[in-house]
Amino acid sequence: MNETNHRPASFAEYVGQTQAKTVLQILCKSAKKKGTSICHTMLSGRPGLGKTTLCRILANEMGSNLIELIASNLQDPQQLTAQLAGLQENDILFIDEIHSLPRAVEEILYSAMEDGRITMVVESEYGDLMKNLGMSSKQTRTVTLDLPPFTFIGATTLAGMVSAPLRSRFIQTLDLEPYAIDELKQIVQNASSKMNFDISPTLAIEVAKRARNTARIALGHLKWIIEYCIATDSSASTQTVTEAFILKGIDDNGLTKIDRSYLQLLVNAKSPVGLNSIAASLGESSQTLSESVEPYLMQEGYIRRANRGRVAEQKAFNLILKMEVCT
Ligand SMILES: Nc1ncnc2c1ncn2[C@@H]1O[C@H](COP(=O)(O)OP(=O)(O)OP(=O)(O)O)[C@@H](O)[C@H]1O
Ligand SMILES: [Mg+2]
């Protein structure tokens, strides 16, 4: 069984995200006809929805060289300048998590995106002469470099935190949507057939239902079920899939132990609780809660934000009551 990460390599294999996919396919077609590069594009959406995958597909379909960078590794403006200076015609430069680019680094992108040029500070070629004349050999001068036509793809999980000047320089902004159960079922079935693992459509739906509308989570669940079946010398059946999910503490709605502890805390409090207090009580960071736990609980109507903190909705009370009855 081949268990490497089988990312879809073409638009045809990439399930769902119809709007983003169609726009990119049109841009691809028109760029190929014109013989130009695709316009600078921002991809936003929650973790695991397929931003990186979509960018790699775009590079494949365009036959372009792809340079992938992560904002947190670009702390020094010169690092970005060096990458931009090395671009070849029609290259795609992909930077992940653009909301966390330092301002000085971001500013280099402004002219690269808008005017297709960057300004670099280089050491003067007269450095030696200056040194001989007793002047500092660290004399520098500014040069402007015209870049070849290229495409910048910026990805972010927090679109609201991308600065206005950077955001406004993207010609296209595409928001990836949470997946529907049917789409996740398809993703699970495609991946399992690539891995030569038999899973019935009914069981693929069971996996999809617990995937929190996210492709990465669906594939993570599938991989766990495969491990479980191999270890227990069994095939995928209602019983093995249920056992595998129970062992991982994942319930029928895809909620995990941390989700349930979070909801239990809010239900017990009966009044709004601040994020920091919840984080301290659960021993989690506020960032983990606000980025990985709360979005799904809010989307599914378990909790809401109020003026003085987070509040449990009736759905959370029902769930906790049901859990207490079952134990
Ligand atoms: N539409 C899709 N069809 C099939 N598989 C998908 C799709 N979208 C994502 N995947 C799979 O889900 C996983 C996560 O996708 P990806 O890494 O592209 O997400 P991301 O949005 O870049 O996440 P992050 O914000 O954490 O970087 C990958 O293994 C990818 O192959
Ligand atoms: Mg990514």
The residue whose C-alpha atom lies closest to atom 26 belonging to ligand 1 is 47
pLDDT at 324 over 80: no
Tens digit of each residue's pLDDT (9 = 90 or more) over 235-250: 889 999 999 999 999 9
Q: Catalytic site residue 216?
A: yes
Position 2 scores a pLDDT of 47
Residue with tokens 């073409």: 10
Identified catalytic residue from 52, 173, 240, 256: 52
Position 3 scores a pLDDT of 47
pLDDT at 61 over 80: yes
Instruction: Find out whether the beta carbon of 194 lies less than 6 Å from any atom of ligand 1.
Output: no
Position 121 scores a pLDDT of 74
Whether the pTM exceeds 0.95: the reply is no
pLDDT at 271 over 90: no
Domains and CATH numbers, the chain: 17-117+148-175 (3.40.50.300), 181-248 (1.10.8.60), 257-326 (1.10.10.10)
Tens digit of each residue's pLDDT (9 = 90 or more) over 21-56: 999 999 999 999 998 899 999 999 999 999 999 999
- Residue 203: how many other CB atoms lie within 10 Å: 22
Which residues, other chains included, contact 318 with Cβ-Cβ below 8 Å and sequence gap of 6+?
Answer: none
Tens digit of each residue's pLDDT (9 = 90 or more) over 155-181: 999 999 999 999 999 999 999 999 999
Q: Catalytic site residue 157?
A: yes
Confidence grade of residue 133 (pLDDT, cut at 50, 70, 90): low
| End-to-end CA, the chain | 39
Position 151 scores a pLDDT of 96
Q: How far is the CA of 315 from the centre of ligand 1 (A)?
A: 29
Ranges of H-type helices in the chain: 18-34, 51-62, 77-85, 103-114, 127-132, 164-168, 181-194, 201-209, 215-231, 238-248, 257-269, 275-282, 286-288, 294-299, 314-326
Average pLDDT, the chain: 91
Nearest in space to 315 (alpha carbons), one of 304, 307, 325: 304
Identified catalytic residue from 41, 156, 157, 214: 157
Which residues, other chains included, contact 175 with Cβ-Cβ below 8 Å and sequence gap of 6+?
Answer: 20, 44, 45, 159
Instruction: Find out whether the beta carbon of 8 lies less than 6 Å from any atom of ligand 1.
Output: yes
Encoded amino acid at 60, one letter: N
What DSSP character marks residue 68?
E
Residue 46 CA: which ligand is closest?
1
Q: Are 157 and 45 in contact (CB under 8 A)?
A: yes
Backbone angles phi, psi at 68, to 5 degrees: -105, 125
Residue with tokens 């906790």: 320
Tens digit of each residue's pLDDT (9 = 90 or more) over 114-130: 999 998 777 766 666 66
Q: Catalytic site residue 175?
A: no
- Residue 161: how many other CB atoms lie within 10 Å: 12
Residue 8 CA: which ligand is closest?
1
Residue of 46, 49, 186 with the most ligand 1 atoms within 8 Å of its CB, for mutation:
49
